Structure formats: structure tokens, C-alpha cells
Amino acid sequence: MPRVKRGTVRRAKRKKLAKLTKGNFLTKGKLYRAMKEAADRAGRFAYRGRQRKKRDFRRLWIIRISAGARLNGLTYSQFIWGLKKLGIELDRKVMSDMAARDAAAFAELAAKVKVAVDAHQAELAKATPAAQA
């Protein structure tokens, strides 16, 4: 079996890890095994953080839309339902930006939705007494 000399490969691998863990406390930035553990752990936290960021932004957008909808006499769920009923396909990021920065445009959108919601509630009110009688 031929002899394998892996000086450059090993050094490159360790340099890559050292770059990832540069500035870590005590041995986590100096010794190979500790560097590897620290880099793996940091990678797990980073992945979890990227997923969390998506979740947090969606929550923020929903809160902004809800606040804008309530200023216009609607709840968040009524507003979203009305948009779907009208076939308006705006994502939550755009709607939250409208609610925060362009209140007039959001109010116009909410007025259209309110008409659809009120019409639906009127239909339900007409249908309910007939079903009970």
C-alpha cells in the first residue's frame, strides 16, 4: 500500500476551521478538536437563527397588518379573508410595508375588503333566519 502524505490537505482543513473559529475563547480557537466542536455548534445556532429570522419577520408583518386593519374597522382574519375573496394577491411583506408607510393606500385596500366582508355578513344574516324557521 502506498504511503499517503496529507500535509497540505490537513493544513487546509485546519486553516478553514481556524478561520471559522477565529476569536473564540480559550482553546476553541486554537486546538483542532475544540475548534471542530465550536464550529459545529456555531453552525447549528446559525441555521436555527436563519429559520427563526423568517418566523420573526412573518410575525412582525402580521402585527403591522393587524394594526392597520383595526384602524380601518376590520380584524386581521377578516382582512385576509376579504383579500382572498376579492382575488387580491399581495404578500404579507408588501401589505405590512403599506400599512406602516402608506396608510392612505392601505385604507383604500381596506375599504374594498370591508365592502366584501359586509356583503358576506349581510348574506349570512339573511340566510340564518330562514334556516331556523
Q: Residue 73 belongs to what domain range?
A: 7-132
Q: Record the pTM.
A: 0.80
CATH number, domain at 36?
1.10.1900.20
What is the separation of C-alpha 28 from the centre of its chain, rounded to a whole number of angstroms?
Answer: 32
What number of CA atoms fall less than 13 Å from residue 92's CA on the CB side?
Answer: 17
Count of beta carbons in the 10 Å neighbourhood of residue 109: 23
Residue 55 has pLDDT above 80, yes or no: yes
Mean pLDDT of 96-125: 95
Question: Cell digits for 8?
Answer: 497540505
How many folded domains does the chain comprise? 1
Categorize the per-residue pLDDT at 7 as very low, low, confident or very high, splitting at 50, 70 and 90: confident
More confident: 67 or 126: 67
Residue 128 lies in a domain: yes
For the chain, the distance separating the N- and C-terminal CA atoms, rounded to the nearest angstrom, is: 93
Residue 2 lies in a domain: no
SS3 25: coil
Residue 126 lies in a domain: yes
Given this model, what pLDDT does residue 20 score? 96
Categorize the per-residue pLDDT at 36 as very low, low, confident or very high, splitting at 50, 70 and 90: very high
Query: Cα(102)–Cα(11) distance, rounded to whole angstroms?
Result: 56
